[in-house]
């Protein structure tokens, strides 16, 4: 059996702790050795705090530090998980890839396309293994959709997600010390989260890419929050209407809302191919299509066209993406990864492009232009003074 993969996590907040929980399990199976935990706010590294999130966790020989560069220099690592708020990266992924360390980058990999392109370039140059945190591709229901649609021509998908602004959980970054929200709910704030399409909607966007392939263009219009209606810096728009055009010719509607004082949430999905509808009904993935002699003598009933798709048993997708990442490292084979950093760039460009389209009054933005055309320069740049 190969040596356990020596891993570190940068950022022990909500997501870093979820990864630590999975890695703690993988460590008990001899697959990884949790070697270092790094967080700029040292109390997020306290054993007693972490124990509240990871059963039976103990620091033992795990190295802890607030200093990324010093940890990189002093510890022997194979892989690092990056779980920072997406606007605060400061060259850490680039330093790690240049040191030959494999990269697990949480989504969105950056709020700034130029920064993400630079990260991608350095990952490629160094030939390190990488994945982006799109664990939903490992969810058995979404895999079932992927398999079912493989030989079909999708035409249109609509995904609606309504969530209350107050539904965002409190985060572990002490944003109040960094000029951010006093209540630490940075996901409700535009400057910190890049808005809901980038922070949350990138998951639906990436799932659609898993099913239909790459996105060619985006158009978006948002209803922005009234300045008099902003509480605790929660200034993200009320509602978002985004259209994606896929290279395969299908279109998608991504409709999101984050209202305040409603405490209501729901969601809806309709996935259409040329001859049927796919829906999620509870834990079932259901396809509605007619497969008898055509034309039928009588109009088929809803029951006659209802087909529950076969799905594999439930898995913890956060654990599953880590298993795939660690396996890719130990075998040197990235082919089993459902989302590499490079392959995830289209999802990131699509959601950042949505923000740009909204600012340009719903202009259709082709992602190949968004990545390079001077017209979109200002939307790709990282501002010099952030946080
Ligand atoms: N894949 C998913 O389903 C999923 C779920 C939640 C969050 N995320 C993503 O994970 C990332 C982290 O989000 P989170 O919810 O854990 O946020 P968080 O604020 O709870 O945690 C971030 C952690 O990073 C630390 N940190 C902040 N700035 C730092 C810096 N400059 N150097 C070192 N440490 C620093 C903070 O102290 C905190 O512990 C985000 O990109 C978010 O979108 C992904």
pLDDT digits (tens, 9 = 90+) for 263-316: 999 999 999 999 999 999 999 999 999 999 999 999 999 999 999 999 999 999
Instruction: Give 343 Cα–ligand 1 centroid separation in angstroms.
Output: 22
Q: How many whole angstroms separate alpha carbon 190 and alpha carbon 383?
A: 14
β-pairing, 239-246 vs 32-38, is unpaired
Within a domain: 386 = no
Q: How many whole angstroms separate alpha carbon 211 and alpha carbon 333?
A: 23
Mean pLDDT of the chain: 97
Is the domain of 265 the same as that of 308?
yes
Within a domain: 385 = no
Instruction: Give 246 Cα–ligand 1 centroid separation in angstroms.
Output: 30
C-alpha angle 22-24-29 in degrees, rounded to nearest 5: 95
CB-based contact 379:115 (threshold 8 Å): no
| Percent of all residues in the chain with a pLDDT value above 70, rounded to a whole number | 99
* Two structure tokens written together for 363: 């202009």
Instruction: Give 91 Cα–ligand 1 centroid separation in angstroms.
Output: 16
Residue 11 has, within 13 A of its CA and on its CB side, a CA count of: 25
Residue (of 220, 225, 221) closest to 238 by Cα position: 225
Ligand 1 atom closest to the CA of 41, numbered from 1: 37
Instruction: Give 12 Cα–ligand 1 centroid separation in angstroms.
Output: 7
β-pairing, 215-223 vs 102-105, is unpaired
E strands present in the chain = 5-10, 32-38, 63-65, 79-82, 102-105, 130-132, 154-164, 215-223, 239-246, 251-259, 266-273, 276-281, 284-288, 306-308, 365-366
Instruction: Give 83 Cα–ligand 1 centroid separation in angstroms.
Output: 4
* Two structure tokens written together for 360: 């340009």
Reduced 3-state DSSP string for 181-204: CCCCCHHHCHHHHCCHHHHCHHHH
The best mutation among 46, 70, 93, 173 to test binding of ligand 1, ranked by most ligand atoms within 8 Å of the C-beta, falls on 173
The mean per-residue pLDDT over the stretch 234-239 comes to 98
Instruction: Give 85 Cα–ligand 1 centroid separation in angstroms.
Output: 4
pLDDT score recorded for residue 2: 80
**How many domains are there within the chain?**
2
* Residues, the chain: 387
Starting at the edge strand that comes first in sequence, how are the strands of the sheet with 266-273 ordered?
A: 306-308, 284-288, 276-281, 266-273, 154-164, 251-259, 239-246, 215-223, 365-366
Is the domain of 219 the same as that of 84?
no
| pLDDT, tens only, 185-231 | 999 999 999 999 999 999 999 999 999 999 999 999 999 999 999 99
pLDDT at residue 1 above 70? Answer: no
* Two structure tokens written together for 76: 């022997």
* Res. 66 pLDDT band, cuts 50 70 90: very high
Q: Which domain CATH number covers 265?
A: 3.30.360.10
Is the domain of 150 the same as that of 294?
yes
Q: How many whole angstroms separate alpha carbon 200 and alpha carbon 148?
A: 25
Instruction: Calculate the alpha carbon distances from 380 to 59, 114, 117 in Å.
Output: 40, 5, 10
Q: Which domain CATH number covers 90?
A: 3.40.50.720
| pLDDT, tens only, 344-378 | 999 999 999 999 999 999 999 999 999 999 999 99
CA-proximal residue: ligand 1, atom 26 (nearest): 11
| pLDDT, tens only, 108-128 | 999 999 999 999 999 999 999
Is the domain of 81 the same as that of 147?
no
pLDDT score recorded for residue 384: 81
Q: How many whole angstroms separate alpha carbon 370 and alpha carbon 114?
A: 11
Is the domain of 20 the same as that of 123?
yes
| Residues flanking ligand 1, CB < 6 Å | 10-16, 39-41, 44, 83-86, 88, 106-107, 133, 135, 171-173, 199
| Residue 356 belongs to domain spanning | 137-315+346-377
CA-proximal residue: ligand 1, atom 21 (nearest): 13
Within a domain: 306 = yes
pLDDT at residue 169 above 60? Answer: yes
Is the domain of 196 the same as that of 287?
yes
The best mutation among 8, 13, 204 to test binding of ligand 1, ranked by most ligand atoms within 8 Å of the C-beta, falls on 13
Is the domain of 80 the same as that of 157?
no
Within a domain: 387 = no
Within a domain: 197 = yes
Is the domain of 248 the same as that of 292?
yes
The best mutation among 66, 84, 320 to test binding of ligand 1, ranked by most ligand atoms within 8 Å of the C-beta, falls on 84
CA-proximal residue: ligand 1, atom 40 (nearest): 85
**Residue pointed to by tokens 């001859």:** 275
Nearest 10 degrees: Cα torsion 92, 94, 97, 103 = 60
| Percent of all residues in the chain with a pLDDT value above 90, rounded to a whole number | 98
Within a domain: 384 = no
Three-state DSSP state, 63: strand
Is the domain of 182 the same as that of 247?
yes
Is the domain of 353 the same as that of 334?
no
Q: What is the CA radius of gyration of the chain?
A: 22
Instruction: Give 349 Cα–ligand 1 centroid separation in angstroms.
Output: 20
Is the domain of 102 the same as that of 151?
no
Within a domain: 100 = yes
Instruction: Give 107 Cα–ligand 1 centroid separation in angstroms.
Output: 10
Is the domain of 104 the same as that of 155?
no
pLDDT at residue 386 above 90? Answer: no
CB-based contact 83:10 (threshold 8 Å): yes
pLDDT score recorded for residue 385: 61
Within a domain: 382 = no
């Amino acid at each position: 059996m190969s040596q356990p993969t020596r891993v570190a996590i940068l950022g022990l907040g909500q997501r870093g702790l979820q990864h630590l929980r999975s890695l703690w399990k993988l460590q008990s199976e001899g697959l990884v050795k949790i070697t270092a935990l790094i967080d700029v706010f040292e109390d997020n590294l306290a054993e007693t705090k972490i124990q509240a999130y990871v059963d039976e966790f103990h620091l033992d020989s795990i190295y802890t530090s607030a200093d990324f560069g010093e940890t990189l220099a002093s510890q022997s690592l194979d892989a690092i998980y990056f779980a920072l708020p997406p606007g605060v990266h400061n060259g850490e992924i680039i330093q790690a890839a240049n040191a030959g360390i494999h990269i697990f980058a949480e989504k969105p990999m950056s709020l700034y396309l130029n920064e993400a392109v630079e990260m991608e370039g350095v990952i490629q140059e160094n030939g390190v293994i990488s994945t982006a945190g799109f664990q939903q591709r490992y969810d058995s229901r979404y895999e079932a959709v992927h398999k079912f649609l493989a030989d079909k021509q999708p035409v249109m998908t609509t995904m609606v997600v309504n969530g209350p602004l107050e539904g965002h959980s409190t985060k572990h970054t002490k944003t109040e010390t960094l000029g951010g929200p006093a209540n630490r709910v940075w996901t409700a704030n535009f400057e910190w989260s890049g808005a809901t399409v980038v922070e949350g909607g990138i998951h639906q966007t990436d799932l659609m890419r898993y099913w239909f392939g790459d996105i060619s263009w985006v158009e978006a219009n948002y209803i922005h929050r009234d300045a008099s209606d902003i509480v605790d810096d929660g200034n993200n728009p009320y509602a978002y209407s985004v259209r994606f055009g896929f290279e395969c010719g299908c279109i998608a509607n991504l409709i999101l809302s984050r209202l305040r004082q409603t405490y209501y949430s729901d969601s809806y999905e309709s996935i259409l191919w040329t001859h049927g509808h796919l829906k999620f009904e509870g834990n079932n993935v259901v396809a509605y299509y007619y497969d008898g002699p055509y034309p039928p003598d009588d109009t088929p009933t809803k029951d006659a066209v209802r087909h529950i798709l076969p799905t594999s048993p439930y898995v913890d997708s956060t654990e599953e993406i880590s298993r795939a990442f660690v396996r890719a490292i130990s075998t040197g084979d990235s082919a089993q990864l459902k989302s590499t950093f490079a392959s995830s760039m289209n999802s990131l460009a699509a959601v950042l492009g949505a923000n740009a389209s909204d600012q340009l009054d719903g202009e259709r933005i082709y992602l190949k232009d968004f990545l390079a055309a001077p017209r979109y320069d200002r939307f790709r740049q990282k501002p010099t003074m952030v946080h």
